[in-house]
Structure formats: C-alpha cells, structure tokens
Amino acid sequence: MLEIFYHPIYTSGISKSSNFPRDRYQLIFESISKSNRNKDIKFKIPKKINVKHLYNVHQKDYVDQFLKGKLSEVQQRKIGLRPWTSKIIERTLFIMGGSVSAVISSIENGASANLAGGTHHAYHDYGSGYCVFNDLVISAYYCKEKFKRYQNILILDLDVHQGDGTASMVKTDKSIFTFSMHCESNFPLKKQVSDLDVPLKKGMKDKTYLKILGSSLEKLEDNDTDIIFFQAGVDGLVHDTLGHLSLSHQGMMKRNEMVLSFCKKKRCPVVIFMGGGYSKPISHTVKAFSELFFQFSNL
Ligand SMILES: [Zn+2]
C-alpha cells in the first residue's frame, strides 16, 4: 500500500495569478482518485510540521522571519511563487509535515510519498527556486533522530535541476549521501558539490539518459544505505518549459522502473518527494507524476 500525503492547500496556498503551475497537485490527486489503477494507493492528509524540525536544519532567524510573514522583497523574489500570500506559510508547514509523515509511512510500508516537496533549492538561511525550506534535509534529520536503524540516507535526486541546496546543507555529514543527476545548462547556474554529481548535456534523449542512469546507480550499489529519498521531478520531459532535457513519457517511466528495482535490490524503504514539473500543457506533468505513483504502488 502506497500512502500519499496530500492537502488541498498544496494548490490553494499559492496565488491564482502566480506563474507557478499550482493546479498540478489537485489535478494529480484527481487523476489518481478517479483511475481504476489506484487500489494500492491511499491518500492521507498531513499535519503541519512541528517547527522544531525546521530549527534543526535551518537558521532560526530565517525560519522566524518566514513564519512571521516578514521575508524581504528580495528574499521573496529569490523563492518565487509570487505574488506572495500569507497562505504560503500554512502551505509550507503542511508540505513539510507531509514529507516527514511519508518517512514514517515508508518505514512501515516499504514506500510512501508526498504529493509535493522535494524542495532541493532551499539553503540553510534562505529559500530559492520555489523552495522555502529543504524538506529532504529536514526529513533526513527527522529520520535519523526518530529511527535508530535508519541512519544512512541516500538522496537520489533526478530532477532536471541540481539539488544545490541539499548538497550545500549536508556536505559535511557523511551519513547523508547526495546524488544529483541533472542537466548542466539548467538552474542553478552556480552548481554545488554533491557526493556524486552527474551533469547531463542539454537535449539528451531517453537512450543516453537511461544508460548513464544505469551506470550511476551501479556506483551506488555498495553504499551503506538504510533508506532512500527519491526526488522524482519530471521536469526532464521534452514537454517541460524549464527543463533542457528531452525525455519521453516512456523514458520517464523507465527511469522510475530503474529506481524502483534499485530500491528493491538495496532492500530499503523509499520516500518519494515530487520535485519539479512545468510542462505545457500541464497534462504532461499530471500524467508523468500519476504514472510515477502507480509504479511505486506496486512495490
Ligand atoms: Zn526542477
């Protein structure tokens, strides 16, 4: 059974006039809900995260300014999701709550997902690229604190953008291994150093992409891993307006299949964090994410 954490505020917490494709969360929820392939999927409503978990990994001043609605214009612009509304605060707390709940559920059920999150561009003391706080890092420390048996975490980031915030936040922590396979010409311009970075050429298609993914996953096979966090952004699709890769839906599904069998081989629970998806029309993003969740519901 794949439990997926979802709250309507994932969509409604962003202004209607924002450029961000906020409808994707609701549309994915609807698409899965009405499908006849959802028998192994159960939606759960997350609780807001306890702010102490934010303080554990982010600068206190930054967390407090955000919670008080007092981020500066410059800080807001760096994050995006504008025009800013006060609902962003609640939305962020629910999304972070969904991610840590998914950690618990994955340990109980083998896999779990948050229908949002994967906010890998957030740094210790500032947000960036649609990311306020870094739920991957928050969830990693939450997991290490709560579960003694799950100390070694592998962050598998296949979003088209580099997991720069994540890499920077855990660079001195040997128990959290960061892997990022991303398009070299995409945001962020200035890349950080992950434990393993695999930069890809602009315009890369399925065949080359999947070959490189296969050999990269092989390198991770001998790592000491207790739990896997999969940042499953689908912005590598050819239909994506931000991503510079050219993957087909079939290629994206093959990618998921490879990650799935990697997790099985490692006998590790897996937590899925959604990540990016900016296709036009939005139906491509909805389709790709729905397929991802169906694939992992057969674990
Ligand atoms: Zn992305």
Per-residue confidence (pLDDT) for residue 298, from 0 to 100: 84
Q: pLDDT under 70 in the chain at which residues?
A: none
Kindly report the CATH class assigned to 2-297: alpha beta
pLDDT of amino acid 41: 98
Tell me the pLDDT tens digit for each residue of 170-181. 999 999 999 999
20 Cα to the center of ligand 1, angstroms: 12
pLDDT at 191: 98
Instruction: Determine the distance separating the centroid of ligand 1 and the alpha carbon of 62, expressed in angstroms.
Output: 23
From ligand 1's centre to the CA of 161, what distance in Å? 4
The DSSP 8-state label assigned to residue 197 in this structure reads E
Q: How far is the CA of 242 from the centre of ligand 1 (A)?
A: 8
The rounded Å distance from CA 50 to ligand 1 centre is 26
Q: Mind listing the pLDDT tens digit for each residue in 219-275?
A: 999 999 999 999 999 999 999 999 999 999 999 999 999 999 999 999 999 999 999
**DSSP alpha helix (H) spans, the chain:** 9-12, 23-33, 52-57, 60-67, 73-79, 87-109, 135-146, 164-169, 206-220, 249-266, 283-297
Interval between CA 71 and ligand 1 midpoint (Å) = 23
Phi and psi at residue 231, to the nearest 5°: -85, 105
On the CB side of 155, CA atoms within 13 Å amount to 40
Residue-range domain boundaries for the chain: 2-297
pTM over 0.85: yes
